[in-house]
Amino acid sequence: MNYIKGMDISSYREMLDKGYEYFDEFGNTVDILDYAVEKGFNYARIRIWNSPSNIPESGGYCSLDETIKLAKRIKEIGIPYLLDFHYSDWWADPGNQNKPKDWEYLHGRELMDAVYEYTKDVLDTLADNDVSPSMVQVGNEIRCGMLWPDGSSEDFRTLAKLINAGIKGVRESKGGEAIQIMLHLDQGGRYHYYEKWFDVVMRNGVEDFDIIGLSYYPFWHGTYQDLDETLNKLEERYHKDLIVAEVAYAHKLGDDSLFGKGQERLGGLPASEDGQYEALKIISGIINGVNNNRGKGFFYWEPFMRADNSSFWGYCMGIVDSEGKPLKTLTMMNSSFPIGADEARNMYSKLRYSDDCSEPINGINIISKPEIVDNLDNWNYSNPHNVSYKTEQVDGIDTFSFQGKGNVYFTLHQPVQVYESGDYSLVVEYKGDNTTGVCVKPFIKFADYRREINIYPSDKLWTRGIIDISIEEGTLVDVGIEVDSPEIKGQIRNIGLYLRS
């Protein structure tokens, strides 16, 4: 297998239908797929949803009919493709693994049979159209499971059976023995999740797969060194080929909900054309340096998606600019990727990540009992059954440390009486995992009013969330933090409401 420089082009037809045009570096109109292959992309990736017509927001894209059309276009440009089964009518990711509507009431053997038959039927239909994939994902980012609630990661036995049903569907389809099978998780820089997951599913009988796929976004999934260590530990333990099935970096700042200053700080490089190019160079070299030549390449996620709204992916995460002209990452694809492992390690060793909690907090904390100790006597905690926690001293500071099993939702908050009108700052400090669907929100509310902000966490450095607000004397406010996320672990400290003036 040649080093894969892949592109997820699932939205290609949607972008054309919306009227977006693409250009080469000289300003000439191009078909972006022809141009991408000319510049060095050598593999495609496309997702398939069961019945997207059930979800109006999907626009009907990524159906089987649309997949056939796109697969034929891929065949025209002469490259292989990876087919990504979501086993859902719309997005499947760590925070969303919803059953297709047609399978809503299926359980046990009936659900396994549905997975098998659907997988086989799709691949048979593609074979009949002479557009079979070379590689298949059985599920998308399934660290937290698939086909919830049956296949939740809280029930690995059932999850393993559903994965094996999909694998069987691949193998028994037309030409299925020649198709490589990938199992794909998020959190590409956090080895402990992979070891736990693969050890358990393999112990439950999942064996017939070829590739471990990882999502790795530097602003979510740990440092470049974390990715380097994860890939090599996976190779040593499982002896499987490894592909970063999703990767991307911003070429400009977008909305804070997508890629703002917080994500840029965690990503280690500026949100710029050069920053994006450097990020992919580092990642390509890390993959290229995996022991025993097991690092097989990457897929850039939706490099040609376009959007005018700064909170949407296509606004800042692709490798074309807002006018559709190619950025450096695209024009240099053939000549720059992959670099060598030593060069990549030299590049990431020079990066410095700043801790934004190093500055002192200004003002007087008016929370009378802010300590996070013992049984949380001072705090209201929603105490979900699937979240374990402890209160501990970390670096000499009272800290709430938690770990979820399955999807996580909780609040930690306290009512505070304000006795003096003035300008206040709610401050919360947080450290923990991040990925698709993680939502960590400090909040302040009183009467019918609520303010909140998003924290974009790192598992290495503390992140400080601050809400500035004017409050009148006599107001009873509720201050705290809300965590709504796929399975993660994290820490909370220094919750305070500070009078600044």
Positions marked active-site: 141, 246
Give the three-class secondary structure for 264.
helix
- The pairing of beta strand 422-432 with beta strand 463-471: antiparallel
Q: Where are the alpha helices (DSSP H) in 291-353?
A: 313-316, 328-331, 333-336, 341-349
Q: Residue 444 and residue 478: Cα distance in Å, rounded? A: 6
CA 311 distance to own-chain centroid: 16
Q: Residue 214 and residue 301: Cα distance in Å, rounded? A: 12
Q: Residue 115 and residue 103: Cα distance in Å, rounded? A: 9
Give the three-class secondary structure for 435.
coil
- H or E, element range at 471: strand 463-471
Instruction: Please name the amino acid found at residue 155.
Output: D
Contact 399, 493 (CB under 8 A): yes
- H or E, element range at 146: strand 145-146
Q: Residue 404 and residue 153: Cα distance in Å, rounded? A: 11
- H or E, element range at 79: none
CA 372 distance to own-chain centroid: 31
SS3 content of the chain, % helix, strand, coil (to 5): 30, 30, 40
Angstrom CA distances, 478 to 249, 399, 416, 420, stand at 37, 20, 6, 16
Residues 6+ apart with CB under 8 A from 203: none
In terms of Cβ atoms closer than 10 Å to its own Cβ (0-12, 13-18, 19+), residue 146 is buried
Whether residue 218 is preceded by a cis peptide bond, meaning omega within 30 degrees of 0, is no
Q: Residue 208 and residue 372: Cα distance in Å, rounded? A: 47
Instruction: Please name the amino acid found at residue 372.
Output: I
Structure tokens at 270: 């500026």
Contact 430, 492 (CB under 8 A): yes
Residues 6+ apart with CB under 8 A from 494: 357, 361, 397, 427, 428, 429, 464
Backbone angles phi, psi at 262, to 5 degrees: -65, -45
Q: Residue 264 and residue 354: Cα distance in Å, rounded? A: 11
